[in-house]
């Protein structure tokens, strides 16, 4: 995975969620974004995935530039899979239908092909027995696993995960983190934000510390966690890794 961002700015009213952010990653399998809440991690993920368009600056992922041209933007978005904090499953559709719907409507698969891909993805995560259940009949961990199954059913180029364990209890958090690690080990390119520092350290090959809408520091996890250079990153890690 290759990533290049130059002077990216994104504003919501008077709030500058991204403030001239630049980041160059020549090669990575798993990029983890860390930093304080409100620092810009979620906005950066949405910009990288093409869900938000920056007000200024340029974005390129694996050599594909982010553009405002509708047809090109649609193609850019279709390459990638997304998993959000609050699962975002359709509450009136069962687990299988939550996966087949985007396969049919977004990616153009036939109902039969979508059904086969959905069951393959559910089986991969031990969820096939729950295929006919509504989200309300699933635990939080199961719902998040369905969300991940939906995101990878079409073999995305990059999987984006926005704090995927923030709504889970410790046991379910461990379950989902293990699943993400398995995906990374199987070769899936991933960009994720997380507050789980131990997980970030274990699974990432590149880490970026985001604060005040900018990248204050980035590098391999062993360097960033062991010898952080920026004062903001030093303060952040000293707090979150104290206990």
Same domain, 163 and 233: yes
Same domain, 47 and 162: yes
Query: Given 126, 156, 186, which residue is the final one in a domain?
Result: 156
pLDDT in tens, 82-98: 998 777 899 999 999 99
CA–CA separation, 154 and 78 (whole Å): 9
The label of the residue with tokens 């391999």 reads 220
Longest dimension (CA), the chain: 55
Query: Given 156, 182, 203, which residue is the final one in a domain?
Result: 156
Six-digit token string for 132: 């006919």
Question: Contact 40/18 with Cβ under 8 angstroms?
Answer: yes
Same domain, 12 and 100: no
What DSSP character marks residue 59? E
Q: How much is the mean pLDDT over the chain?
A: 93
For the domain that residue 192 is a member of, what is the CATH number?
A: 3.40.50.300
Does residue 224 come out as left (phi exceeding 0), alpha (psi in the -120 to 50 range) or beta?
alpha
Same domain, 62 and 161: yes
Same domain, 173 and 188: yes
Same domain, 97 and 150: yes
32: three-class secondary structure by DSSP: strand
Query: Given 130, 156, 182, which residue is the final one in a domain?
Result: 156
As a whole number, mean pLDDT of residues 18-32 equals 96
Determine the straight-line distance between the first and last CA of the chain, rounded to whole angstroms. 33
Same domain, 140 and 175: no
pLDDT in tens, 218-233: 999 999 999 999 999 9
pTM of the model: 0.92
Q: Is the dihedral of CA 67, 69, 88, 99 positive or negative?
A: negative
Q: What share of the chain has pLDDT > 70, as a percent?
A: 100
CA–CA separation, 78 and 99 (whole Å): 15
The label of the residue with tokens 């590149």 reads 206
The strands making up 30-34's β-sheet, listed across from edge to edge, are: 80-83, 158-162, 190-193, 30-34, 206-211, 214-219
Report the run of H or E that residue 71 belongs to, with start and end. helix 70-78
Same domain, 48 and 163: yes
Q: Is the dihedral of CA 10, 78, 179, 119 positive or negative?
A: positive
The neighbour count for residue 45, using CB atoms within 10 Å, is: 22
Q: 172 vs 37, which has greater pLDDT? A: 37
pLDDT at 243: 67
pLDDT in tens, 53-69: 999 999 999 999 999 89
Same domain, 227 and 116: no
The range of the structural domain enclosing residue 111 comes to 86-156
Counted domains in the chain: 2
Six-digit token string for 157: 């180029």
pLDDT at 50 over 80: yes
The residues, any chain, with a CB within 8 Å of residue 239's CB and separated by 6 or more, are none
Same domain, 49 and 33: yes
Same domain, 1 and 115: no
Same domain, 92 and 74: no
Q: Where are the alpha helices (DSSP H) in 106-242?
A: 111-124, 140-152, 170-185, 197-203, 221-226, 231-240
């Amino acid at each position: 995975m290759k990533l290049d961002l130059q002077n990216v700015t994104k504003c919501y009213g008077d709030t500058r969620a991204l403030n001239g952010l630049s980041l160059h990653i020549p090669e990575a399998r798993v990029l983890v974004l860390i930093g304080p809440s409100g620092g810009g991690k979620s906005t950066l993920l949405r910009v990288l995935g093409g869900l938000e368009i920056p007000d200024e600056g340029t974005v390129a992922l694996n050599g594909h530039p982010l553009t405002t041209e509708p047809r090109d933007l649609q193609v850019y978005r279709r390459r990638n899979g997304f998993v959000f904090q609050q699962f975002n499953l359709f509450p009136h559709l069962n687990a299988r239908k939550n996966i087949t719907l985007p396969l049919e409507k977004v990616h153009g698969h036939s109902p039969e092909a979508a059904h086969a891909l959905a069951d393959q993805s559910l089986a991969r995560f031990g969820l096939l027995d729950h295929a006919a259940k509504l989200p309300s009949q699933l635990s939080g961990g199961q719902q998040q696993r369905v969300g991940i199954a939906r995101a990878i059913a079409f073999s995305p180029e990059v999987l984006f995960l926005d704090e995927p364990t923030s709504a889970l209890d410790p046991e379910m958090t461990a379950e989902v983190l293990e699943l993400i690690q398995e995906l990374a080990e199987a070769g899936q390119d991933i960009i994720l934000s997380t507050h789980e520092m131990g997980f970030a350290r274990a699974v990432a090959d590149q880490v970026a510390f985001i604060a005040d809408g900018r990248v204050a520091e980035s590098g391999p996890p062993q360097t960033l966690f062991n010898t952080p250079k920026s004062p903001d990153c030093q303060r952040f890690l000293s707090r979150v890794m104290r206990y």
